[in-house]
Structure 1
Amino acid sequence: MKEEQIIAGLKAKDRITTEYLYDTYSKALFGVICRDISNRETAEEVFHDSFLYITRKIQAENIYKGQLYTWMANICRKCANDKNST
């Protein structure tokens, strides 16, 4: 699936696209979080929150080709940093 299709599918709240996004990017995004959070249970919680945020926030974002992963990774980093600061 191309990035444009993923973005359009997420904006349309398509379940198959959301599953594809999870299957394709979850390991990499979880890795981003684990760089900042060593406790696996906490990292999983942050990933869950991040993934929900990504699927909801994409509605208001203008994401262009080549920016999807970077945008998602930045959200994961921010959520991890927020969790570390609490």
Structure 2
Amino acid sequence: MQQDLLIAQLQEGNEKAFERIYQLYATSMYGIIFSIVRDEKISEEILQDVFLKIWDNAPSYDSDQGRFFTWILNIARNASIDKLRSKEFKNKRSDLKDYDFTEILETSSNASGKIDAIGLQKYIDLLGPVCKKLIDLLFFKGFTQKESAEELQIPLGTVKTKNRVCIDKLRANISKR
């Protein structure tokens, strides 16, 4: 498979392979990052950091542990959440509560196209409103389970249970494809 060769070359430090990886995945990663931080300039900065991490950590990628796309998606998500949890973003938390990533996915904006480039829309559409909101808070906005419980005004135990159920539904939907 051509992607496996490209990844192997990346792991060996091949700059051309890295450029090709960037071309293939930058738009999708930017969409995920933007959906979390909601700021173009900061999203671009995080995107650069993410690809530096991909370059630096490429030898640690193991295809037996999961798909390459999932690996880089986790790097992007974690870098974005780290930024959200930084001091400078703590003061902006209330602004984030006004947005919902599902609204972005459902609009025809430029960011929407970038996010849907990774195929999230079809899986999001299959989830109920409770799962959408919970996944929005926990995975796209970087809320802790406790913060999500406070935001949704439900017990922490309920958040934990619903999170597990929602993730199971999402996994089932993805595995059906």
Cα RMSD between the aligned structures?
Answer: 1.7
Aligned pairs (5 A) from 1:7-86: 7-64=7-64, 67-86=67-86
Residue type of the alignment partner of 2:78: K
Instruction: Choose 1 or 2 for highest CA Rg.
Output: 2
- Aligned pair count reads 86
Residue type of the alignment partner of 1:20: R
Structure 1 segments unaligned to the other structure (5+ residues): none
Q: What is the SS of the residue equivalent to 1:62?
A: coil
Q: Distance in 2 between matches of 1:39 and 1:60?
A: 30
Q: CA deviation at 1:78?
A: 0.2
Q: Distance in 2 between matches of 1:68 and 1:61?
A: 8
Q: Distance in 2 between matches of 1:24 and 1:82?
A: 24
Q: What is the SS of the residue equivalent to 1:36?
A: helix
Q: Is the contact made by 2:61 and 2:68 (CA closer than 8 Å) also made in structure 1?
A: no
Q: CA deviation at 1:63?
A: 2.3
Once the two structures are overlaid, the 10-residue window that deviates more, 24-33 or 55-64, is 55-64
**Percent of pairs identical after alignment?**
27
Kindly report structure 1 stretches of 4+ aligned residues shifted beyond 4 Å.
none
Residue type of the alignment partner of 1:75: I
Q: What is the SS of the residue equivalent to 2:31?
A: helix
